[in-house]
Amino acid sequence: MAKKKTIDFQALLNEVDTLFPTYQALDQDGNVVDESLVPDLSDEQLVELMSRMVWSRVLDQRSTALNRQGRLGFFAPTAGQEASQLASHFAFEKEDVLLPGYRDVPQLIKHGLPLYQAFLWSRGHVVGNEYKDDLQALPPQIIIGAQYVQAAGVALGLKKRGKKNVAFTYTGDGGSSQGDFYEAINFAGAYKANGVFYIQNNGFAISTPRDQQTAATTLAQKAVAAGIPGIQVDGMDPLAVYTVSKLAREWAANGNGPVLIEAVTYRYGAHTLSGDDPTRYRSKELDDEWQKKDPLIRFRNYLQNKGLWTKEQEEEVMENAKQEIKDAIAEADKVPKQKVSDFLKNMFEEQPQNIQEQIKFYEAKESK
């Protein structure tokens, strides 16, 4: 007679995996598959959300071209992630604090950063980091996952001040394997801080496939270790992303603690335009498969079926976006170029002697 297992480890794994289904409101053709996840947005709000997503796609295309022309510096493509980025941001309020990663520039602009400053940030210009007092955001974090730690601190600050606002932040699937990720959600969970944490899972940590960087079936289930809610959502579905984000914000703002959201998405372009070649690790078949799930196509179909969106509307949004980008890059070009002496002057409120000497050295060099 076979001895009964005292502990069935495989059963433990299977049990956890069943707790994290993928929430979806629209299928890839724009048909409603779960009415309970369709948000109570007005027609004007639905059109505004679509306009923001189209704007973001144009920004991605124009930024890529400007980078290739040498008119921008660092750029991380965003095409394909419009729902996970813009629909999530749509659920937050102006007073909520955004702590973006380097790919989350579209949300930052919609949160209030002038576009020309975003371009200056790309160029490494200090003016790109000079935020007005009413902009509730920090400059994009370059270190993978580091913005999570900052967000946890800001979220606790909001809670201790009795605010009904939240801090929200984003990282990629690779970021969820970093130490900062675990430390941040654990800290925020222990103190029930007002935070909403996103993982934008596009399937690759630069070139490493997701299933090779973690054994976890979903990334949302990493929330279990921190004792906080974790949820997985179709990141190509703007309505589901919005609904999940709105509910998570309400949960966190009401003092219940943070939420971790995994948005399953796909980015068409390279990791960044600083040397990555996605054709070395992604197949055309995989790209084609995800193109069928494009967030713009499915949301366009949904809105057209409701009589809220036309080809002419979309073309107008695209033309306005192109003009906005053209004006912003012209404004960025007017800002005096960054000097080494400027960097040094910004390092300390009172410069020590060695910095003073370096400032004099570079000012003499720059004046020639």
Which residue is associated with the tokens 């007073």?
95
The Cα 156–Cα 194 span in angstroms is 6
* Cα 271 from chain centre: 13
Residue type at position 130: E
Coil, helix or strand at residue 31: coil
Active site residues: 267, 271, 281
Residue 283 half-sphere exposure toward CB, CA atoms < 13 A: 3
The Cα 267–Cα 241 span in angstroms is 16
The Cα 123–Cα 4 span in angstroms is 64
Give 138's contacts (C-beta < 8 A, 6+ positions apart): 97, 98, 99, 100, 147, 150
Distance (Å) of CA 360 to CA 49, 56, 99: 51, 43, 36
The DSSP string of 325-353 is HHHHHHHHHHSPPP-HHHHHHTT-SS--H
Closest residue by Cα to residue 53 from 189, 241, 187: 241
